[in-house]
Amino acid sequence: MDFFHHTFSDVYARKNNWLTRIDVRVKLFYVISLLAINLWAKNIFIPLLFLSISFIVLFSIRTPLFAILRSMLIPISFAILILIVKGLHEGEKEWLSLSIVGYKMTFREEGLRSGLHTCSKVLGGISLVITFSFTTTISRLCAGLKWFYVPNTMIELLAFMYRYIFLLFDEVSTMWTAQKSRLGHASWGKMIKSSGVLCGLLIMRAFDRAERTYEAMYVRGYDGGSILTVNLSPWRKEDYASFIGMVFVAPMLVYTGNIYVW
Amino acid sequence: MLSRIIPVFTLSFFLFFAAANTAYAMHITEGILPFRWVITWFAVSVPFVGIGVYHVKRKKKKMPSYLPLVGMLGAAVFVFSCFPIPVIALNGMATSHPCGTGMSAVLLGPFVSVLVATIALLIQALFLAHGGLTTLGGNIFSMGILGSFSGYFAFKIAQRCKLPLFWCGFLAGMISDVFTYLGTSIELGLLVINTGGSFFKAAAEIFGVFMMTSQGILCIVEGVVVGFVLVFIYKRRPGILFHLGVVKDDTKPMQT
């Protein structure tokens, strides 16, 4: 649970810097088009370019390297797995052969190239997503999604869930620690049963809290209508400049991404 | 085939447990799916999400308290899906985590569960770098759609067979997990079609790796936990399960 507490935080998105000040719609345009270009790319240079630019941009707003690497830990392990699996599975030309615990493993050149390509796409894509999430708060994201005609009900649920996840996390962490200190996790079997009880309590508390929240909303005039109140301000000069910059840069990235290197 | 499975299995085993210490295997990471599969899986998933939105919208008009209820239960299921469960095969050296879709399908119904899973996947992709935005459609299909519907129908069939509540919950949790991994394996298996590989062989290999590492045991563990959860709530507050339509009558004693 510690992992989620450390990673699952919008602390960087709440800071005031040049990236958090950019309009969420511009950032959404950027992230969606760059992700598409990243997928489309036929060489590893475009994804690696996205990875490097994301790192530079995140360093420019003083995001700690450790925070970036912590977020990328799981995708990196997946990327390595893909590289190895493809290296072992695809192609004919033998590149490297080794024996691990008696099993002969042969890495093939074509497979490693293809694996490296996918691996770079994973790293490029995930770095773009991380850059977006490190610079955008959930309330701005909701406002941006509303502008993109995502259904109100879905955005309301997103806002609700996000708001209460942290609160429930704290409650669960307290109960989890209490269970652990009272030998509730002494054996594997006990731990499963304790998890069941903990989750049951979580559902019961969530149900009670939902009733209390509804009462509070009802008092404030909620009758089942829309609850979204965040409105976006008009674009500033910088936002227009960023958007126009994207319009010019995108075709160049598409062109460069289309060049076959191997 | 075996000569290829063994190295893949060994390496997966190493990477899932030794490298990360926490296994997150049911979400396809950003950048893995090619463009056409991204479009295909979004096209498959959007109608289900749309029906989920319609369900919530309709119920919200009739019963305004429904939105906070779904939001809160969705948040609770999300937190449940982050529970670290030790992998017994490794004597707790590594942990994995449940999907939670089986439980949300039982509590909220399959379509609303798809919507909740969609939002959970979006939050995970954005704030945990777990899954991805381009792979969101594929992940909704495997975890949201397959997980929710299989879990829901497993629960309903078990109820029809008059199984005790624990076993109904167990089957919902376990089967939704199995189908989630099956969905992910199918999605990954389909990627080899263009490279001349066999889809069935690839999907079977990937599913085999999932089940042989942490996830096979996790399916059973999640089933047991969901069973415990339902029994616990039924014993303490049966009104909640009645209110959500999980049990038909909370006044009659029921076999747990």
Per-domain boundaries in chain A: 11-136+234-262, 149-231
| pLDDT band at residue B190 using 50, 70 and 90 as cut-offs | confident
Task: Check if B72 contacts A (Cβ < 8 Å).
Answer: yes
**Of the candidates A93, A259, A238, A200, which has an alpha carbon nearest to the alpha carbon of residue B77?**
A200
Q: What angle do CA B28, A256, A19 make, to 5 degrees?
A: 65
Residues 6+ away with beta carbon under 8 Å from A67:
A12, A134
* Angular region, A225: left φ>0, alpha ψ -120 to 50, beta rest: beta
pLDDT reading at B68 higher than 70: yes
Query: How close B144 comes to chain A (CA, Å)?
Result: 15
Scanning every residue of chain B, which has its alpha carbon at the shortest distance from the alpha carbon of A192? B225
Write phi, then psi, for A8 (nearest 5 degrees).
Answer: -85, 80
Residues 6+ away with beta carbon under 8 Å from A219:
none
pLDDT reading at A86 higher than 50: yes
| pLDDT band at residue B18 using 50, 70 and 90 as cut-offs | very low
Which pLDDT does position B233 carry in this prediction?
92
Whole-number mean pLDDT of chain B? 82
Which pLDDT does position B10 carry in this prediction?
47
Query: How close B83 comes to chain A (CA, Å)?
Result: 7
Tell me which of A179-183, B3-7, B42-46, B157-161 is least confident: B3-7
pLDDT reading at B41 higher than 80: yes
Task: Check if B245 contacts A (Cβ < 8 Å).
Answer: no
Task: Check if A43 contacts B (Cβ < 8 Å).
Answer: no
Chain B window 200-239: which residues touch A at a Cβ cutoff of 8 Å? 221, 224-225, 227-233, 236-237
Best of B9, B32, B79 to mutate (most A CBs within 10 Å, chain A): B79
Scanning every residue of chain A, which has its alpha carbon at the shortest distance from the alpha carbon of B73? A206
The verdict on a CB contact (< 8 Å) between B83 and A169 is no
Cα radius of gyration rounded to whole Å, chain A = 23
The verdict on a CB contact (< 8 Å) between A129 and B129 is yes
Task: Check if B240 contacts A (Cβ < 8 Å).
Answer: yes
- From residue B220, alpha-carbon distances to A43, A242, B18, B163, B208 in Å are 42, 50, 23, 17, 16
Q: Counting runs of H as helices and runs of E as strands, what totals does chain B give?
A: 11, 3
| pLDDT band at residue A154 using 50, 70 and 90 as cut-offs | very high
| pLDDT band at residue A169 using 50, 70 and 90 as cut-offs | confident
Mean pLDDT of B95-106: 84
The verdict on a CB contact (< 8 Å) between A192 and B225 is yes
Q: Which carries the bigger pLDDT value, residue A230 or residue B151?
A: B151
pLDDT reading at A190 higher than 90: no
Mean pLDDT of A242-252: 85
Best of A77, A80, A219 to mutate (most B CBs within 10 Å, chain B): A77
Chain B window 107-166: which residues touch A at a Cβ cutoff of 8 Å? 107, 115-116, 118-120, 122-123, 125-130, 132-134
Share of chain A above pLDDT 90, in %: 21
| pLDDT band at residue A98 using 50, 70 and 90 as cut-offs | confident
Mean pLDDT of B170-185: 92
Q: Are A39 and B34 in contact (CB under 8 A)?
A: yes
- The C-alpha atoms of residue B39 and residue B159 are separated, in whole angstroms, by 37
pLDDT reading at B26 higher than 70: no
- The C-alpha atoms of residue B145 and residue B156 are separated, in whole angstroms, by 16
- The C-alpha atoms of residue A75 and residue B37 are separated, in whole angstroms, by 20
The verdict on a CB contact (< 8 Å) between B74 and A73 is no
Whole-number mean pLDDT of chain A? 85
Letter string b/e over residues A134-155, b meaning 16 or more CB atoms within 10 A of that residue's CB:
bbbbbbbbbbbbbeeeebbbbb
ipTM of the complex: 0.87
| pLDDT band at residue B13 using 50, 70 and 90 as cut-offs | very low
Q: Give the model confidence (pLDDT) of A118-151 as tens digits.
A: 889 999 999 999 999 999 988 888 889 988 889 9
- The C-alpha atoms of residue A5 and residue B162 are separated, in whole angstroms, by 41
DSSP letter for B88, please.
Answer: G
Mean pLDDT of B92-105: 76
Query: How close B156 comes to chain A (CA, Å)?
Result: 20
Chain A window 86-125: which residues touch B at a Cβ cutoff of 8 Å? 88-90, 100-101, 103-105, 114, 118, 121-125
- Residue spans per domain, chain B: 28-243
Q: Which CATH number is associated with domain B28-243?
A: 1.10.1760.20
